[in-house]
Structure 1
Amino acid sequence: MSKKRVWPVALLVLLLVLSSALAGCGKKSSGNSGDTLVFGRGGDSTSLDPSRVTEGETFKVTVNVYETLLNFGEQDTSIQPGLAKEWKTDDGLTYTFILEEGVKFHDGTDFNAEAVVKNFERWANGDADRFPYYNSMFGGFKGDEGHVIESVVAEGDYTVLIKLKRPQAPFLKNIAMSMFAIASPDAFEKGDDQFERNPVGTGPFKFVEWKANETITLEKFGDYWQKGLPKLNKVIFKSIPDNSARLNALIAGEIDLADGINPADGEMIEDNKDLQLIKRPSMNVGYLGLTVTREPFNNKEVRQAMNHAIDKETIINSFFEGQANIAKNPMPPSIFGYNDDIEGYAYDPKKAKELLTKAGYTDGFEMELWAMPVPRPYMPDGAKVAEVIQSNLADIGIKAKIVTYDWPTYLDKASKGEADAFMLGWTGDNGDADNFLYVLLDEDNIGSNNYTYFKNDKMHDLFIEAQTEVDEKKRIALYEEAQEIIHDEAPWVPLAHSTPLLAASKGVTGFVPHPTGSDLLANVELKK
């Protein structure tokens, strides 16, 4: 064959290759492969330092970057080994933890007893602005009278002793919570602001990149101490605020997993052969908080009137599609200590008007109603629920102006007591009544998790006694009494306990939703 005849054939081959490449460029691609999971969610994280926040969008990411001394069960809050492989206490005051050996932080430094001590010292020497959840769960900080932790010391390289000033019944569950994950001291000693944007833990995935309000990217940690995990090479958390847009992205193959699914879309997902509907075990409450330091919500009759004014049944029927129950208490029935004998406030506009008249507001009043800007498990569509509440309040002469802010600003301003009434909710972090009642409504947590600024001396004493009491029957009785006080004082309008829905492509396997809302992705696989 002569050279003159070879050149045209070579050119033809080259053109075919180029045209194939160009055609491939024109195809729609999800941008992910079988080893990359794209998790669509409703909002961005506010930080990647779990000890500094109280919101679930942060924990959703950080539970895969960091690890805690103890873990919860796969789909419950039973206590399991974590970075501590063994633990014991003889008196409920001194706890001994035997740590796993050979564990590395993502920056290559060693996980050991000294690292655990430094994490606890960091928290204990902080304040409520830096570490609001530590304040809530351990009664303040070093030097505070109520601070429950006396000391945390290392005994050798892999043994930690934690001594308490008084027994704390939920102590082991508390330290298993996401916000008390153990971080690299080398990383956090560079400063809080730098650390919250560059997290370093021991978890199955390590941090790669954070594009604010867009994506957070994690990748497999090659030196992870649990062999064979994680099964994915990369996880991308993608913020898509609108529920319908997030579902459309899942249907189009742009994401692989989506939370915050509208209950109304559940049946359609189940009918789609390419998708799977996933139900998270319920352990939450959605509520309307009333800031008791602001007029007229410093008046109990006004707060009770608000409870009678709101049509919870219509809200649940309209927006939860049977995936929720009406709430009457600040915690769900699944939590021990729930007081089912309490009779919830009936929807009764006439009674609400009578209470307003008694309080001196016969003609009603004007107020701001803060609507959540992001979907949450306990509130799938905050804006629309706010419209129903607005209409209900108008029926009794209250003119409510709906306002909202971006999610971090919303939380910050509400925590400072700047809202008249605000929509919010809570997903339990450890399955204990203390984590709902004390954390959300006690005076110790005003400005951190108690956004209503409500306080009651008798209730506070009940909570502290319940924390110290190890007899479960006695604890239940104390919490039941506390709920009676809360019901009468009415700092909230409890709205709903939901069963949150997620959806995934059929190729997602190994995903097990946790009732806390923080899902470990180490065992997840994805087949494209």
Structure 2
Amino acid sequence: MLKQAVIPFLVGASLLASAPFAQAATNLVFCSEGSPAGFDPGQYTTGTDFDASAETMFNRLTQFERGGTAVIPGLATKWDISDDGLTYTFHLREGVKFHTTPYFKPTREFNADDVLFTFNRMISKDDPFRKAYPTEFPYFTDMGMDTNITKIDKVDDHTVKFTLKDVDAAFIQNMAMSFASIQSAEYAAQLLKEGKAADINQKPVGTGPFVFKSYQKDSNIRYVANQQYWAPERVKLKNLIFSINTDASVRVQKLKANECQVTLHPRPADVPALKNDPKLQLIEKPGFNLGYIAYNTRHKPFDQVEVRRALDMAVNKQGILNAVYQGAGQLAVNAMPPTQWSYDDTIKETAYNPEKAKELLKAAGVKEGTEITLWAMPVQRPYNPNAKLMAEMLQADWAKIGLKVQIVSYEWGEYIKRTKNGEHDVSLIGWTGDNGDPDNWLGTLYSCDAIGGNNYSMWCDQDYDKLIKQAKVVTDRDQRTVLYKQAQQLLKQQVPITPVAHSTVNQPLSAKVEGFKVSPFGRNVFSGVSLNP
């Protein structure tokens, strides 16, 4: 049944060449907040990486509507789902061309072989390409897709059938997510032959609206319009540049000077001025996000729930909301936002009680003056506009209960890599939902399968895992809600994290920009975007 050329100009003081960028209305500069770790979407989990790769250069079989959560056709024009929910047959779009670049000239159009290559590489460590370029696919494995997809069959050049071991209620949504971007099997074969398999992460080839031109770390990424895109009406820019600026105030100044036309994550203090600038527009949306503190349960003394509870109740959340979010945040009580269906609103916030926290630490054998590390993100994220300030406030909060806190930070890519390896004691991190399903929170962030991926607490509880796995194979929403609420209760009791805030998303852009849609999933998508002269 049916379920359906190097760009000849640069921008700004550091990028400026002969003529002002703003003279060319078909050229847009996006002031982004960080350097991507690479351009192979399957390897990564952060919005910084996905914006630079999946959302510019690639497509998925299914995709989310721009600015919404509904799933619509992508590289598959339609799909059939078997009555038992275990077989998905995708009918592929014909006439789709992969990018032509100085390093790759495709000889055929997109077909089933590309789908098989993309997913077989993520499933099997024995895949020839993965052996040549060993890497992990954390998002794919965090959701258990590597074990749940038992077989992928090529029915014909334009039909592919996926067979699952267990029902996955969110499978179609998952296939629309950035990590599931389709790679070229022909390009991969070329790289294998040349002995350059790792180039798939540095010299990308996709089917998306923009073609990769060049990348200078911590400076800029350049793309040019895909003149052969299968949806030509969505390509309205000739050139797209990511100008990389980690400092939010610098990004705002560049936007005001028209050195970029879109930016993100302004400091809360800058929002009023942005609203009042007639040359700008500011889009405000409730954030589908969570900023939280992750306790590494594999490091002592955080393996003790009493210690985690002590740190949790010693956090002055209201003080953090006032100073860090400055009116653009909502107190977080639970492990996902209240706008997510199945949210358990019976869960109550832990009372702020530093005296009780001191008693708990003492009872757990934690001596006064014990040293711990607190890792703070080096970038602004939708869920945390100022991690450095938050870390300093936590340092003060936990000093009151006798802990000596050392604040640690690294470049963003390194930060993510090291926290996934579990090198931290406590880390500041967060999440913006990716597909609208509760499993994207409760499974992706806190499950046993997600350790080494997005489970920064390294927490594994078999009772919790049983609940979320059961919920994932049930298709009835009411039944899933009951299970997810039980999981949320257990999560609150065991305190692998301290939820801090859900922030309001403020998206500043030039008044000349048309067609930009704020993604509920925190992505910056330039398909369908144009500039007025």
**Normalising by structure 2, what TM-score?**
0.90
Deviation of the 1:275 alpha carbon = 0.9
Q: How does 1:100-119 map to 2 (within 5 A)?
A: 100-107=93-100, 108=106, 109-119=108-118
Partner amino acid, structure 1, of 2:28: L
The alpha-carbon distance between structure 1 residues 389 and 30, as it changes in their structure 2 partners (threshold 3 A), is farther
SS of the residue aligned with 1:200?
coil
Specify the SS of the correspondent of 1:64. helix
2:359 to 348, 354, 359: 354
Deviation of 1:129 (Å)? 4.8
Match of 2:5 in 1: none
The 5 Å alignment of 1:354-393 reads 354-361=359-366, 363=368, 365-393=370-398
Deviation digits for residues 227-267 of structure 1, max 9, x if unmatched? 32300011111111111111011111111111011122111
1:82 equivalent in alignment to 2:74:
yes
With normalisation by structure 1, the TM-score equals: 0.91
Partner of 1:33: 24
Name the counterpart of 2:6.
none
Contact 1:129 1:448 survives alignment (8 Å):
no
The one-letter code of the counterpart of 2:438 is A
Counterpart in 2 of 1:136? Answer: 142
Q: Which residue of 2 is the match for residue 125 of structure 1? A: 124
Offset, 1:216: 0.8
Shift of 1:437: 1.0
Which one-letter code corresponds to 2:119 in the other structure?
F
Shift of 1:27: 9.4
Unpaired stretches in structure 2, ≥5 consecutive residues: 1-15, 101-105
- Alignment pair present for 1:66 and 2:58: yes
Q: Deviations over 1:340-379 (max 9, x none)?
A: 1111212221221122122122525211111111111111
Distance 1:259 1:368 in 2: 29
Match in the other structure for 2:399:
394
Aligned 1:155-170 pairs, distance under 5 A? 155-170=155-170
CA offsets, 1:433-479, max 9 Å, x none? 11111111111111111121101010111111011111111111111
Question: Relative to structure 2, which stretch is displaced further, 102-111 or 411-420?
Answer: 102-111
C-alpha spacing 1:498/1:259, structure 2 compared with 1 (3 Å): same
AA aligned to 1:397 is G
Return closer, same or farther for 1:244/1:465 CA change in 2, 3 Å cut-off. Answer: same
The residue that corresponds to 2:187 in the other structure is 187
1:481, CA displacement in angstroms? Answer: 0.6
Q: Could you list the runs of 4 or more consecutive aligned residues of structure 1 that deviate by over 6 angstroms after TM superposition?
A: 25-28
Alignment of 1:5-404 (within 5 A): 29-30=20-21, 33-62=24-53, 63-91=55-83, 92-107=85-100, 108=106, 109-126=108-125, 129-139=135-145, 141=146, 147-189=147-189, 190=191, 191-361=196-366, 363=368, 365-404=370-409
User: Which stretch has the larger CA shift, 225-234 or 30-39?
Assistant: 30-39
1:399, distance to aligned residue in structure 2 (A)? 1.2
Higher Cα radius of gyration: 1
Higher mean C-alpha displacement, 433-442 vs 117-126:
117-126
Conserved 8 A contact 1:280-1:514:
no
Is the alpha carbon distance of 1:505 and 1:133 closer, same or farther for their aligned partners in structure 2, counting shifts above 3 Å?
A: same
Q: Distance in 1 between matches of 2:23 and 2:187?
A: 30
Matched, 1:439 2:431: no
1:168 aligned counterpart, secondary structure: coil
Amino acid at match of 2:87: T
DSSP 3-state at the match of 1:287: strand
State whether structure 2 residue 516 is matched by structure 1 residue 507: no
Q: Check if 1:469 corresponds to 2:474.
A: yes
Q: Tell me how large the CA RMSD over aligned residues is.
A: 1.8
Q: Which runs of 5+ in 1 are unaligned?
A: 1-24, 142-146
Q: Is the 8 A contact 1:152 1:163 kept in 2?
A: yes
Per-residue CA deviations over 1:85-132 (Å, capped at 9, x if unaligned) read 111213211111111111111133411122111211111113895211
Q: 1:96 to 1:322 in 2, by over 3 A?
A: same
Aligned residues: 498
How much has 1:31 moved relative to structure 2?
A: 6.6
After TM superposition, give the deviation of residue 175 of structure 1 in Å: 0.7
Contact 2:33–2:264 under 8 Å retained in 1 = yes
Partners of 1:159 and 1:416 lie apart in 2 by 39
Q: Over residues 373-415 of structure 1, what are the superposed CA-to-partner deviations in whole Å (9 max), with x where a residue is unaligned?
A: 1111111111111111111111111111111111111111111
Counterpart CA distance in 2 for 1:110 and 1:27 is: 39
